[in-house]
Copies of this chain bind each other. A is one copy, B any other.
């Protein structure tokens, strides 16, 4: 049966994700028995997550707590929201009541729920350029058109941001919010400087815009420069937060949160139950006990040390094997952006690298909001082992030298 006549207009805004395509093809190859080195996924390191602790917690909770298999309140288990409030105050210097925290199915759902409340079809969303492709797709699904502001080593170029806003206002475009990952940005790996953060908040205030701060990588800082989160600097209630424990506990648990207030919070709470009923209960209880029993303190600095070492292996491997190539040097997060020579095609490079060299990377192009970035390649260093990173970069460099 041809279903076209049943498809809604909004479905025209639904576009495929390059990430999903890469993961699908990689999964096909793996099922054919091919061993791949993946520098693709945005996952933490499976061996830097205390899986034994999580395993014991899961067992204890499922055995002893009948609530662990049941629905929970739509905004999250109250005790978890209280732990998160303490956690955010301690590590992010954000003072927030547990009533302003909504536990979501990862940071992805947090962004979709906020988008559904805020985005009018035709609205402009301003993001970094490049920016996390799945968020751009999520906002575009809701009818937003995304305008990007270039990123350099200090994060979003706030000078260009103001120009962009003026230009859009002149065209009578409606802008609601600015989306940013200020720390360990995906895909660039850069971190916004404190000065830029303050400028960003000033610009948002001047032009009466909201900011959605995606804090996905805030717990992956390798050089403590004391750069404050945007929310902790926010005096006007302009910053909405989409946060996650994905990079602490593992991406598979799907525990994230929204920080919001007023009418936005009200609408998020109302829209959420019919969409998900609640975030996964067992994940919520594991997160609760992990935070409450101090496992975060116990395991986090060791994990950070591990990620830092992996980052260093990647940077050194790139410096050695591709001394003339351009790439970013992250102080937070899990990504390095590598630039092939000007004019090169990252999409076909990534494809050839997977098919012939069995190394999976994500082309940078889909993360860009304009026609630039054709030559960019996103590399992940958090999930692979140090040996895989070294070997992966070695093979990548072979193809690079072969082609350029």
Please list the residues of chain A having a beta carbon within 8 angstroms of any beta carbon in chain B. 1-4, 6-11, 14-17, 19-20, 23-24, 27, 31, 41-44, 46-47, 49, 51-52, 54-56, 58-63, 66-74, 78, 105-106, 108-109, 112, 116-120, 123, 134-135, 137-138, 141, 176-177, 210, 236-238, 249-254, 261-264, 267, 269-271, 273-283, 383
**17 residue pairs A–B, Cβ–Cβ below 8 Å:** A1-B262, A6-B264, A8-B120, A16-B270, A20-B273, A44-B69, A59-B59, A68-B252, A69-B250, A105-B105, A106-B276, A106-B277, A109-B275, A134-B274, A141-B274, A254-B276, A254-B281
Q: Of B19, B63, B117, which is within 8 A of A8 by CB?
A: B117
Compute how far the CA of A270 lies from the CA of B278 in the bound complex, rounded to whole angstroms.
23
CB closest residue in chain B, given A136: B274
- The verdict on A51 contacting B73 (CB below 8 Å), with A141-B271, A262-B1, A264-B7 known, is no
Contact A177 B6, beta carbon cutoff 8 Å: yes
CB closest residue in chain B, given A68: B252
- Smallest distance from the beta carbon of A25 to chain B beta carbons, Å? 11
Compute how far the CA of A52 lies from the CA of B66 in the bound complex, rounded to whole angstroms.
11
Contact B8 A251, beta carbon cutoff 8 Å: no
Residue numbers in B under 8 Å from A249 (CB-CB):
69
Among all A-B residue pairs, the 3 with the closest Cβ atoms: A252-B281, A69-B250, A46-B66
- The verdict on A46 contacting B67 (CB below 8 Å), with A17-B273, A271-B14, A276-B109 known, is yes
Contact B254 A280, beta carbon cutoff 8 Å: yes
Residue numbers in B under 8 Å from A383 (CB-CB):
70
Compute how far the CA of A263 lies from the CA of B73 in the bound complex, rounded to whole angstroms.
35
Compute how far the CA of A66 lies from the CA of B55 in the bound complex, rounded to whole angstroms.
11
CB closest residue in chain B, given A115: B8
Contact A14 B52, beta carbon cutoff 8 Å: no
Contact A55 B58, beta carbon cutoff 8 Å: yes
Contact A274 B73, beta carbon cutoff 8 Å: no
Contact B177 A274, beta carbon cutoff 8 Å: no
Residue numbers in B under 8 Å from A277 (CB-CB):
106, 108, 134, 251, 254
Compute how far the CA of A68 lies from the CA of B383 in the bound complex, rounded to whole angstroms.
13
Compute how far the CA of A278 lies from the CA of B251 in the bound complex, rounded to whole angstroms.
9
Residue numbers in B under 8 Å from A271 (CB-CB):
11, 14, 141
CB closest residue in chain B, given A8: B120
CB closest residue in chain B, given A283: B280
- The verdict on A108 contacting B283 (CB below 8 Å), with A6-B264, A73-B23 known, is no
Residue numbers in B under 8 Å from A69 (CB-CB):
44, 46, 49, 51, 54, 249-253
- Smallest distance from the beta carbon of A366 to chain B beta carbons, Å? 12
- The verdict on A263 contacting B7 (CB below 8 Å), with A16-B270, A55-B58, A282-B252 known, is yes
Contact B9 A267, beta carbon cutoff 8 Å: no
CB closest residue in chain B, given A238: B1
